[in-house]
A = this chain, B = another copy of it.
């Protein structure tokens, strides 16, 4: 066990950081962090200073033997780190606006984690993450990379394929599902077992038990399922959910209710702007709060941001890796034999036992016949998009888009891709070279 427990947070200037700091403080007994390094790029320096100062105040107030460091020098932050967490956004919220608006012009869902928007985010993000991994191979080769950067599944798969760094993809939504079930059944989370099947942002809960008794049928009858700030409500078709025999993630509304979601997006983009624009306003408000020199705790308002439970997921994972806890968490890892119709190196989101040597994916009890094709269709797109991102290959990007279930024509894919590549040019050096 190394004496120094150093954590590096890439994209440390993010509005999420106070939540992470809070989590680290609350769990110090089991995860005795000694140094937190918040690193950001020059464009994010201003925000880093604001949020970093808040972080320092929080730590100081806690009285714990832990230091907070702010830096623009990524290598300094990585050196000797035990955990590296990433929460940055290449191209900032502006690029997210492009991801959400350009597809709409072509009559296609605009979303930053799947479809055309998700692919553009992957093209921008994957090379940057691989670059971080290259530094890590040199400066902290044994560190764990906890990746929250969306599209988290694709980014994790890319790292597993093109780097030696041990990486785990994380999403707040499984934690959210557990919280929702806990409130619903009025039992602590520990007495619930939920089985997740699928990919990041494309999963189904196929089993829910409380003290070993199945509760799935009860959930089917609920009018309102678990949802999230960043995905607008649209009621599920009850007959369909019963027939499905599983609880779909709220992200699946993009696939099961494509037409309704598209109309929602078009309407709300006129009224209140895209989700990116809403978030931008929220973030501005948050940073105003963070600036308050008397604030030394995570403000309540952060919970509106959409990313609740991110830090809880992160801290739980670090704790279990550090302590060899062997508890079960839902993570994004290499498939192995879990889903027998996908390649072994495909990244999936699945229950894992977290040991000191890393997460071990648990076999799934069953996969509903209904969902195999959709999982495979989206994984096909993901595999193609990852290769496109790494090699800067437009032809592969067209294959990825042309085979995405949300894209209604190869010709539309082609025209849309042209505009998106042009718009994102500054963040896609690998395509310029090619």
Query: By the criterion CB–CB under 8 Å, are B410 and A211 in contact?
Result: no
Point out the residue from B258, B363, B376, B384 that lies within 8 Å of A360, measured CB to CB: B363
Query: By the criterion CB–CB under 8 Å, are B209 and A410 in contact?
Result: no
8 A-B pairs, CB-CB below 8 angstroms? A211-B356, A212-B356, A239-B398, A244-B399, A337-B338, A362-B362, A369-B380, A371-B403
A260 contacts B by Cβ under 8 Å: yes
Within A365-382, which residues are at the interface with B (CB < 8 Å)?
Answer: 369-374, 376-381
Chain B residues with CB under 8 Å of A396's CB are: 243
How far apart sit A403 and B327, CA to CA, in the bound complex (Å)?
A: 34
A402 contacts B by Cβ under 8 Å: yes
Chain B residues with CB under 8 Å of A49's CB are: none
How far apart sit A341 and B370, CA to CA, in the bound complex (Å)?
A: 15
How far apart sit A413 and B195, CA to CA, in the bound complex (Å)?
A: 28
How far apart sit A371 and B378, CA to CA, in the bound complex (Å)?
A: 11
Question: Which of A355, A384, A410 counts the most chain B CB atoms within 10 A?
Answer: A410
Q: How many copies does the complex hold?
A: 4
How far apart sit A340 and B411, CA to CA, in the bound complex (Å)?
A: 30
A420 contacts B by Cβ under 8 Å: no
Question: Which of A191, A209, A409 counts the most chain B CB atoms within 10 A?
Answer: A409
Query: By the criterion CB–CB under 8 Å, are A373 and B362 in contact?
Result: no
A395 contacts B by Cβ under 8 Å: yes
How far apart sit A212 and B340, CA to CA, in the bound complex (Å)?
A: 29
A180 contacts B by Cβ under 8 Å: no
A237 contacts B by Cβ under 8 Å: yes
Distance to closest chain B CB from A119 (angstroms): 14
Closest 7 A/B residue pairs (Cβ): A212-B356, A373-B380, A373-B377, A337-B337, A376-B376, A243-B395, A341-B341
Query: By the criterion CB–CB under 8 Å, are A357 and B193 in contact?
Result: yes
A242 contacts B by Cβ under 8 Å: yes
Q: Which residue of B lies closest to A414 (CB)?
A: B237
1/0 contact trace for A1-27 toward B, CB 8 Å? 100000000000000000000000000
How far apart sit A399 and B100, CA to CA, in the bound complex (Å)?
A: 29
A137 contacts B by Cβ under 8 Å: no
Within A319-377, which residues are at the interface with B (CB < 8 Å)?
Answer: 324, 326-328, 336-338, 340-342, 353, 355-357, 360-363, 369-374, 376-377
Query: By the criterion CB–CB under 8 Å, are B402 and A256 in contact?
Result: yes
Q: Which residue of B lies closest to A409 (CB)?
A: B259
How far apart sit A58 and B204, CA to CA, in the bound complex (Å)?
A: 50
A279 contacts B by Cβ under 8 Å: no
Query: By the criterion CB–CB under 8 Å, are B369 and A374 in contact?
Result: no
Query: By the criterion CB–CB under 8 Å, are A257 and B338 in contact?
Result: no
Distance to closest chain B CB from A259 (angstroms): 4
A32 contacts B by Cβ under 8 Å: no
Query: By the criterion CB–CB under 8 Å, are B1 and A356 in contact?
Result: no
Q: Which residue of B lies closest to A235 (CB)?
A: B411
How far apart sit A357 and B256, CA to CA, in the bound complex (Å)?
A: 31
Query: By the criterion CB–CB under 8 Å, are A384 and B369 in contact?
Result: yes
Chain B residues with CB under 8 Å of A50's CB are: none
Q: Which residue of B lies closest to A382 (CB)?
A: B373
Query: By the criterion CB–CB under 8 Å, are A411 and B376 in contact?
Result: no
How far apart sit A377 and B403, CA to CA, in the bound complex (Å)?
A: 11
Query: By the criterion CB–CB under 8 Å, are A399 and B324 in contact?
Result: no
A228 contacts B by Cβ under 8 Å: no
Query: By the criterion CB–CB under 8 Å, are B363 and A337 in contact?
Result: yes
Query: By the criterion CB–CB under 8 Å, are A356 and B399 in contact?
Result: no
A296 contacts B by Cβ under 8 Å: no
Query: By the criterion CB–CB under 8 Å, are B356 and A353 in contact?
Result: no
Query: By the criterion CB–CB under 8 Å, are B326 and A357 in contact?
Result: no
Chain B residues with CB under 8 Å of A212's CB are: 324, 355-357
Q: Which residue of B lies closest to A379 (CB)?
A: B373
Chain B residues with CB under 8 Å of A273's CB are: none
A299 contacts B by Cβ under 8 Å: no
Distance to closest chain B CB from A187 (angstroms): 12
Question: Which of A211, A362, A371, A377 counts the most chain B CB atoms within 10 A?
Answer: A377
A408 contacts B by Cβ under 8 Å: yes
Query: By the criterion CB–CB under 8 Å, are B408 and A239 in contact?
Result: no
